[in-house]
Amino acid sequence: MDIQSIKQRFGIIGNSPLLDRAIDIARQVAATDITVLISGESGTGKEFFPKIIHQLSARKHGPYIAVNCGAIPEGTIDSELFGHEKGSFTGAHEARKGYFEVVDGGTIFLDEVAELPLGTQVRLLRVLESGEFMRVGSSKVLKTNVRVVGATNVNIPDAISSGKFRQDLYYRLNTVPILVPALRERKEDIYLLFRKFASDAAEKYRMPSIQLDDDGQQILRNYRWPGNIRQLKNLTEQISIIEKSRVIEAADLINYMPQSQSSELPVLYKGEDSSKFNERELLYKVLFDMKKDMNDLKQLVMNLMQNDDDISNNLGENTHLIKRLYKDFEEGKEPAQPIIVHRPDKRFSEQEPIQEPEEIEESLSLEKKEIDFIKRALIRHEGKRKDAAKELGISERTLYRKIKEYNIE
């Protein structure tokens, strides 16, 4: 069965290459009994993929069950999955089969598998490795032949680092990973899904279907959709019911979208002080100016070596000194000792020290460069800190702190 046929059979809408890739992996792995882990943000439609895997596998005539691991209380999750014996805990009035026993020969979909308690993870690992398990309150080992498909919206490597998920279970579950793309990564599919949800709402509530103008379509594509397809569906139904006009303009659409997330513009990371970004910009300026000074110096030396015939003809034993000077400044180092040049002509006395240009004597210290920048800005603006801070690209508070720190008068 090709990808397009799978989309039609399971009601999947979209032409994104990322979506097609996920469906293709599910199609290929279906013929095996390999364990699959489906990853993706909440609301991306992960629940379709275990159905595809089950229906295209040799187990399609066997039972299929989906279990939301995050919705079952920790105290009863073992009983739900593996069953229990009569009297094994308070309220266990009779023996009960668990999902792994009931679904023998079929497929079990463990949604939000990262929410399983650590104890249950140990039991699940045993099932995956040997097919063996025990009911709660029993010492009898039972066997099951179940294919496991897991799904999660949690970053499992982070959960492993924090001790909330077993690394060995992750490697056992993640034999074949399938990544379901977020809606913002499928921009070409957003309006297709909107039209589908609008049509469904019109049929359900017996009303004409809504449409979006061009600007509205652009807003849909640029929105980040943190709730993904689920959020888009809810928004479409909401607009269909509330709005009287069937042609929705951009201004009307914006009213239904949280303004804090309607843009893709970058924002400051939580916990970062904006003044740190301003200081960083100032340091960047210092570094760029230092680089420019170095480039100017290298160009000066190269011009002397290439274009000045008089110097080139009389370099002699001084060649290694010039090369050393060039190398030192290229590496950002100051000369280790005074440079003495030998001139056979009489325009300079023998072994006369070279008077280094001002750029060479200038300190390469970041702190000194920063102080120099601040002093120049304050002089240029006659001591007005607000204007000086604006020119430096930092806040007035940061400038005040720098002045106090460096004792600038």
Return the higher-pLDDT residue of 39 and 309.
39
Task: State the chain's mean pLDDT as an integer.
Answer: 82
For 315, phi then psi, to 5°, come to -65, -55
Supply 325's token pair. 């000077």
Segment 194-223 mean pLDDT: 94
Give the pLDDT confidence score for residue 188 in this predicted structure: 94
Q: Are 150 and 107 in contact (CB under 8 A)?
A: no
State the pLDDT confidence band at 307, using cuts at 50, 70 and 90: low
**356-403 tens-digit pLDDT:** 444 444 445 677 778 888 888 888 888 888 888 888 878 887 888 888
Higher pLDDT, 164 or 370: 164
Q: pLDDT of 219-231, one tens digit each? A: 999 999 999 999 9
Mean pLDDT of 162-166: 95
- For CA atoms 161, 162, 163, 167, the dihedral sign is negative
- Between 219 and 284, residue with greater pLDDT: 219
Query: Which pLDDT score, from 0 to 100, does residue 385 have?
Result: 83
Model confidence at 213: pLDDT above 50: yes
**Which pLDDT score, from 0 to 100, does residue 97 have?**
94
Q: Is the predicted pLDDT of residue 274 greater than 90, yes or no? A: no
Please give the span between the terminal C-alpha atoms of the chain, in angstroms, as a whole number.
78
CA pair distance 158, 171, nearest whole angstrom? 14
| The pLDDT of residue 84 | 92
pLDDT number for residue 175: 93
pLDDT number for residue 324:
61
- Residue 373: predicted pLDDT: 82
What single string gives the DSSP state of each residue in 209-277?
Answer: PPEE-HHHHHHHHHS--TTHHHHHHHHHHHHHHH-SSSEE-HHHHHTTS-GGGS-----PPTT--HHHH
Q: What is the pLDDT of residues 115-150, one digit of tens each?
A: 999 999 999 999 999 999 999 999 999 999 999 999
Q: How confident is the model at residue 275 (pLDDT cuts 50, 70, 90)?
A: very low
Closest CA to 12 of 268, 374, 1: 1
Q: How far apart are CA 321 and CA 334, in angstroms?
A: 13
Instruction: Read off the pLDDT of residues 332-346 as tens digits, 9 standing for 90 and up.
Output: 555 555 544 444 444
